[in-house]
Amino acid sequence: MQILSVASECYPLIKTGGLADVVGALPIALEKHGVKITTLIPAYPSVVAKTGEGKLLHKFKGLLFSDASLYKVKYQGLDIILLKSTELFDRAGGPYIDENGKDWHDNWKRFAVLSKAAAELASGAVKGVKFDLVHCHDWQAALTPVYMKFGNEQAQSTPSIITIHNLAFQGRYEAELFKYLDLPQEAYAMDCLEYYNDISYLKGAIKKADIITTVSPTYAQEILTPEFGMGLEGALHTRTNDIHGILNGIDNEIWNPETDPNLSANFSFKSLSPRSKNRKALEQIFGLKHSKAPLFCVVSRLTWQKGIDVLVGAFDDIIKSGGRIIILGAGEAELENQILNAARHHKGKIGVKIGYDEELSHLMQGGSDAIIIPSRFEPCGLTQLYGLCYGCVPIVARTGGLADTIIDANEAALNNIVATGFQFNKVSHFDLVQAIRRAIECFSDKPAWNKLQKNAMLADFSWEKSAKKYFNLYQSLTL
């Protein structure tokens, strides 16, 4: 089975969040099922620096009036097609934002062209290249099923899947831009792109893809409600029979505490004591005083979604309760400043690094005692899964994938030795602080804490089960 996967990020080539991890992991996980996934991503300069130019596959005569060509490369076991366009992708800055943190003004076009290129591939435009199914990820690839439905016979008859990694990002633009998308007028309609007199790329995919998946069973339910549906719950309700929630897995080769080269000391669930060396390394990196007090960490985008404002409000309580905290992240300027101020105020007890640092994120999971994830909504979440795997006990809000993956350390779960972390119900100051206090209390009972860590490390969130679910979906659409 030949699948074309379409996305704006793919680890280890380009990553801003969990989307990249999943897009990079799926091809490897599905290989065992005889599925060959080729991933189409934009040729950002940082990607080409890693892969090299590659082999020219196709030169388009112009996609939405932009220069565009496709190059084939292989990188660390992944089959990649790079979409090259000097006008759209050959620039410094991030995949979505410029160096000043502002969205690229032409994102609507950049990702419309990505989708158009994918649809062209599905339509047989490139000699000798044929796909049985197209799997699109998030709004950046969401026009693909729309272009396919309005494409030639081959494109129309090729099945498509849209996976929603985060419904908050929808690719919504003013209707004025529709005329540049090279689609027939009927695509600007209620059952396609039209959305409150604007256009929404994601709505187009929700209406036109054959199957919609999202990244956890709980989030698949939540997005049907006004609270989590972000305005698209109505559109999603028209597709309830086609929505599937499949949990993300983690790549146990990249995230393995026994072999991880980013750790100062490797360890396993059988021997947790080397973790203390990682803890010491973290104390040094973050300028904390050496102490036996529990060390909490946060590795996250610093945004409202992630509940970081509530976390900042809880800093004083964490310190008063005897905890310490280290934070790695980047995001909203105001939150970054609040965290930097708190670190200055609680010198030696709160440490912060603003920015993105893949290696450090591994060390934080391998040396901190617990990771705090107070998300207001969380489609799946990966950091709690990495936490489990590294014995860094997750303290999470009960929502989306966090609810699906962490077993709260209540009395019954502790007695039955199944608890893997702490959950709290609402993202409020009170509930968060309560959960942190419960963790600190448990931490003071060393045997109980060690059991919790071991349970966490034994929880299996490898890709195995989820890959099978994707395979079943692929099969159901292609047989």
Tokens 């790079």 appear where? 82
Q: Are 442 and 421 in contact (CB under 8 A)?
A: no
- Output the smallest distance, CB 234 to ligand ADP, in A: 24
Name the helix (H) or strand (E) containing 253: none
- Output the smallest distance, CB 123 to ligand ADP, in A: 31
Q: At what angle do helices 333-345 and 308-320 cross, to 10 degrees?
A: 10
Instruction: Give the footprint of ligand ADP on this chain (CB under 6 A).
Output: 17-19, 21, 166, 299-301, 328-330, 356-358, 361, 380-383
d(CA 62, CA 44): 18
- Output the smallest distance, CB 165 to ligand ADP, in A: 7
Give the closest residue to 199 by CA, choosing from 151, 228, 223, 235: 235
- Output the smallest distance, CB 421 to ligand ADP, in A: 14
Burial class (CB in 10 A: 0-12, 13-18, 19+), 217: middle
Q: Which residue is nearest to ligand ADP (CB)?
A: 18
- Output the smallest distance, CB 196 to ligand ADP, in A: 25
Please give the biggest Cα pair distance in the chain.
Answer: 68
Q: Judged by CB, which is closer to ligand ADP: 122, or 364? A: 364
- The rounded radius of gyration (Å) of the Cα atoms in the chain is 23
Q: Judged by CB, which is closer to ligand ADP: 19, or 419? A: 19
Q: Are 81 and 71 in contact (CB under 8 A)?
A: yes
- Output the smallest distance, CB 89 to ligand ADP, in A: 21
Q: Judged by CB, which is closer to ligand ADP: 187, or 364? A: 364
Q: Judged by CB, which is closer to ligand ADP: 103, or 358? A: 358
Q: Judged by CB, which is closer to ligand ADP: 68, or 372? A: 372
| β 324-331/36-42 pair status | unpaired
Q: Judged by CB, which is closer to ligand ADP: 78, or 187? A: 78
- Output the smallest distance, CB 361 to ligand ADP, in A: 4
Q: Judged by CB, which is closer to ligand ADP: 137, or 324? A: 137
Give the closest residue to 327 by CA, choosing from 302, 347, 297: 297
Bridge partners (DSSP) listed for residue 395? 372, 422
